[in-house]
Structure 1
């Protein structure tokens, strides 16, 4: 996680490959694990890094989003 600073505020930021960044921002992906610890809790900026999605990842995402939609309707 990096800290971005403007003149008045400091923000925590996390770079995540697409499509995971969009899923986090939309609330469909609740957890992001890293191999380093942080005591930071609170709002963060999400930087969407570009990476080509594999067919396997696409199928997994479709399956997970369909499950979420069904659970939300129930």
Structure 2
């Protein structure tokens, strides 16, 4: 939760700290993924793929468009 709070504070600044906010977002995602892996205890990567393949997931992530000038509304 501290990472989400940090990202929110960084983005709400008069001059948003985008790099710091992205770092906090990445940290939050990494911690959530580690918790997921710890809970499910997969034995191989194939166990993590549900209804698709990894290349489809990567393509979907790459296609996300972000406006770096947009203000955070959180």
Q: Normalising to structure 1: TM-score of the pair?
A: 0.26
Q: Which is higher, the Rg of structure 1 or of structure 2? A: 2
Q: Normalising to structure 2: TM-score of the pair?
A: 0.26
More strand by share: 1
